[in-house]
Structure 1
Amino acid sequence: MDLKKIDAPASTVTYNRNEVDAQTNNIYEAISIISRRAEQINSEIKKELIEKLEEFATYNDSLEEIFENKEQIEVSKFYEKLPKPHALAVKEWLDEKIYYRNTEEDNK
């Protein structure tokens, strides 16, 4: 996922209910799909952040010395400024980039 190219809002936005449930005709199903995608995005971002922060990690047994690593701070600030996972998921949903299927309909 390229986080720099995502144009989801960073703050709270009111969405048109009809746009959100247009694909499923059920607002609860749409919200369920969006929330599952938000969980996936959150885990991807968290994994990526941990990997980047581990590059700068210094393992020290002494509690007396604490170093400020400027690169680590910059990486943290970048991830703090990103839109929240639910905003990214809603943007993907409205752009119809999320694939979903109803397994109950598949079984019939």
Structure 2
Amino acid sequence: MDLKKIDAPATTTTYNRNEIDEATGNIYESISIIAKRAEQINSEIKKELIEKLEEFATYNDSLEEIFENKEQIEVSKFYEKLPKPHALAVKEWLDSKIYHRNTEEDNNL
């Protein structure tokens, strides 16, 4: 996921209910799919952040040696300014970038 090219809103936005449930015909199913994608996005972002912050980690036993690393602070600020995972998931859903299928319909065939 390229976090620099994200165009999802960073603030609260009102969406048209009909656009959200258009793909499934059921608002609850659509929201469930969006929520699952938001969890995936959140875990991806968290994994990336942890990997980047581990580059700056120093492993020592002394509590007196605390260093402020400007690069580490900049990385943290970048991730804090990103849109929330649910906003990213809704944007992907509205752009039809999320693949979904109904397994109950597949079993009935």
Q: How high is the TM-score relative to the length of structure 1? A: 0.99
Runs in 1 of length 4+ with deviation above 2 angstroms?
A: none
SS in 2 for 1:78: helix
Task: For 2:4 and 2:21, locate their aligned partners in 1 and report how far apart those are by CA, in whole Å.
Answer: 28
Deviation at 1:65?
A: 1.7
Task: For 2:47 and 2:7, locate their aligned partners in 1 and report how far apart those are by CA, in whole Å.
Answer: 21
Q: Which residue of 1 aligns with 2:52?
A: 52
Q: Which residue of 2 aligns with 1:40?
A: 40
Question: What amino acid is aligned across from residue 59 of structure 2 in structure 1?
Answer: Y
Query: Where does 1:10-89 land on structure 2 (aligned, <5 Å)?
Result: 10-89=10-89
SS in 2 for 1:14: coil
Gaps of 5+ in 1: none
Tell me the C-alpha RMSD between the 2 structures. 0.5
Question: What amino acid is aligned across from residue 43 of structure 2 in structure 1?
Answer: S
Task: For 1:41 and 1:24, locate their aligned partners in 2 and report how far apart those are by CA, in whole Å.
Answer: 21
Question: What amino acid is aligned across from residue 69 of structure 1 in structure 2?
Answer: N
Q: How high is the TM-score relative to the length of structure 2? A: 0.98
**Aligned positions, number:** 108
Task: For 1:106 and 1:14, locate their aligned partners in 2 and report how far apart those are by CA, in whole Å.
Answer: 33
Answer with 61-70 or 72-81: which moved more: 61-70
> Once the two structures are aligned, what percentage of the paired residues are identical?
89
Question: What amino acid is aligned across from residue 60 of structure 1 in structure 2?
Answer: N
